[in-house]
Structure 1
Amino acid sequence: DIAEKKGLRVIREAFADRNYNPDGTLVSRTLPNAVVPDPEFVAARVRQVAEDGSITAFDGTVLKVDAESVCVHGDSPDSVALAQSIVKALGEDGIEIKSFL
């Protein structure tokens, strides 16, 4: 919010491979369900963000998000497979992946 008020370009991000709490915060990495290892789930999550501007918390609560970028953590198990599943899913839906530059 501060950066926007200063006239800076802000790029909001959603996390493809992390679970969300119903209040929009991330599930703590100290909990067993914090990181999502399933490529199909991750791809579906990113589709939801791109198409609906929402993300579903672990309990089913649908949260509105204003994300233009998606993060896959490099330390997530099979992070390359997760990223590949996202690229494939978005391509199948005709959703363009592009640079911010």
Structure 2
Amino acid sequence: RGVADAVARAVVAVDATLVLYGLSGSCLVEAGEAVGLRTAAEVFADRAYETDGSLVSRDQPGAVIDNPKTLVERAVRLVQEGSVTARGGDVVALRRDTICLHGDTPGAGQLAAQLRSGLEAAGIRVLPIGIGD
């Protein structure tokens, strides 16, 4: 956790009003909170999860989710229930303050538009961090 602590201290030194983003459940989020930073636990609409809440390695089949329907369903569930079905079939609870969609996923622009539409169709407002929370 040493690197996470160093990052959190560096952010505080630069600007203590910044929001520190980190993978949900990560030591970076914990380190930020320990030094009084506002943190945002990040979940991923376009990535598969392991049972322990970590991301499936990109070199594994199915690690990247590029099916728009699946991606939207996962994101809606993450927001509404705070959980995702992991690769092994277990349901994993995740703190979620922000949803990431990777820009290097093929068709990311179109996926982003579909994701936003799907979230809004489910009654979920898409807002910047700090608005409405």
Q: CA deviation at 1:81?
A: 2.1
Do 2:50 and 2:86's aligned partners in 1 also have CA atoms closer than 8 Å?
Answer: yes
Task: Look up the match of 2:35.
Answer: 6
Task: Look up the match of 1:74.
Answer: 103
Would you say 1:39 and 2:68 are equivalent positions?
yes
| Partner Cα separation in structure 1 for residue 62 and residue 100 of structure 2 | 17
Task: Look up the match of 2:79.
Answer: 50
Structure 2-normalised TM-score?
0.72
Q: CA deviation at 1:32?
A: 2.1
Do 2:72 and 2:118's aligned partners in 1 also have CA atoms closer than 8 Å?
Answer: yes
| Partner Cα separation in structure 2 for residue 60 and residue 9 of structure 1 | 32
**Superposition misfits of 4+ residues, deviation over 4 angstroms:** none
| Partner Cα separation in structure 1 for residue 129 and residue 83 of structure 2 | 21
Aligned mate of 2:57, from 23, 28, 33: 28
SS in 2 for 1:28: coil
Do 1:12 and 1:68's aligned partners in 2 also have CA atoms closer than 8 Å?
Answer: yes
Aligned residues: 101
By relative contact order (CA 8 Å, sep 6+), the higher-ranking structure is 1
Structure 1-normalised TM-score?
0.93
Aligned mate of 1:83, from 75, 88, 112: 112
Q: CA deviation at 1:35?
A: 0.6
